[in-house]
Amino acid sequence: MNAEPVVPRDPQVQALTTALAAPFEPREVKYKPQMVKNNRCLAMAYIDARLIQDRLDEVLGVENWEDGYRILPDGSVVCRLRCKLGDRWIAKTDVGSPSEQPDGGDRLKAAFSDALKRAAVKFGIGRYLYRLPAQWVDYDPVKKQIVQVPQMPAFGLPKAKNAPTPAKPQAAQSPKVEAPAKPQPTEAEAPKSILPSNGQELHRRLQDYDAKLAAQKLCQRGQLLAHVTQAGVKAGFTANMSDWTGPAIPFAVDAVKEFEQSARQAKPEPRTAA
């Protein structure tokens, strides 16, 4: 039996689908409690339907996507989302459920939004949110609100735009780069006083140091890694710490110092008996 020939992917289509599936800014992601136990809850990430519409407009253009809806007898809504990828129109369909709100119009509106979100996931939009690790966070049962924002892992952060490229030394000069002076190690130093040789080693050390700070109850597990990654993205480095090289390494060490100093200052001093 002859196998079907593999059709090479259109580079333009591949670029569009990659852009559609790119992570959103962490501040744009919202969370709701999926399970509540006393003052803790299991946080579930989600995005608004308008954010999906903005992504479609930004990547494809307003003229290159369209949506249609059909209401089912049980109140659910079917969304058919069509997007122009390259020279082809591709459609994806999914069903959204109504909410439990008392007003019938609000329930139907929620079903429309849910249907669009589910259809958009089939184009990759927001699909990474389903791979986020489960996180239990602080919850206010009186206000019924999440009071602690979950930490976004590195793969859920958008890649930096226009990341700086380290300048190459001129071949004729071949300057000798001297190693930076070794500072005296303190508690706020990186896991080792010798700088990591690459991004993979940096990530491994920070994982170990993150666990150490969490054991000292200075932060939640994963909070240090998230802080350094977000600081690096703002500075122009990629969101994948394992790819960091050159100036990104000492930058990460400084970010660790800043984080630990802030965490230790925020930790209340133990009370002594009068």
Give 2-13 pLDDT, tens digit per residue: 666 666 778 889
Tens of pLDDT along 63-112? 999 999 999 999 999 999 999 999 999 999 999 999 888 888 888 999 99
Across 43-52, 211-220, 222-231, the highest mean pLDDT is recorded for 43-52
% pLDDT > 90, the chain: 44
Lowest mean pLDDT among 103-112, 168-177, 245-254: 168-177
Cβ atoms of residues 128 and 21 within 8 Å: yes
Lowest mean pLDDT among 17-21, 239-243, 269-273: 269-273
Q: How far apart are CA 206 and CA 1, in angstroms?
A: 52
For residue 13, CA distances in Å to 8, 124, 157 come to: 11, 13, 23
Q: Identify the H or E element spanning 261.
A: helix 248-266
For residue 33, CA distances in Å to 42, 137, 139, 148, 154 come to: 6, 9, 8, 11, 22
**Residue 165 pLDDT > 50, yes or no?**
no
Report the alpha-carbon angle 159-14-238, nearest 5.
15
- Looking at per-residue pLDDT, the higher value among 64 and 207 belongs to 64
% pLDDT > 70, the chain: 82
| CA nearest neighbour of 164 among 248, 75, 259 | 248
- Looking at per-residue pLDDT, the higher value among 242 and 41 belongs to 41
For residue 145, CA distances in Å to 43, 223, 258 come to: 11, 21, 30
Specify the residue for token string 């979100």. Answer: 117
pLDDT of residue 178: 52
Give the number of other Cβ atoms within 10 Å of residue 10's Cβ: 14
pLDDT of residue 110: 94
User: Cα torsion for 54, 159, 165, 248, to the nearest 10°?
Assistant: 140
What are the respective helix, strand and coil percentages of the chain, to the nearest 5?
Answer: 40, 20, 45
Residue 262 — very low, low, confident or very high, per pLDDT cuts 50/70/90?
A: confident
- Looking at per-residue pLDDT, the higher value among 180 and 184 belongs to 180
Query: Mean of the per-residue pLDDT values for the chain?
Result: 82
Give the distance, in angstroms, between the CA of residue 272 and the centroid of all CA atoms in the same chain. Answer: 42
Tokens representing residue 255 in the block: 């970010």
- Looking at per-residue pLDDT, the higher value among 82 and 201 belongs to 82
**Residue 129 pLDDT > 50, yes or no?**
yes
pLDDT of residue 243: 78
Q: Radius of gyration (Cα) for the chain, nearest Å? A: 24
> What is the bridge-based pairing of β-strands 30-37 and 40-46?
antiparallel
| CA nearest neighbour of 85 among 59, 58, 52 | 59
**Residue 24 pLDDT > 80, yes or no?**
yes
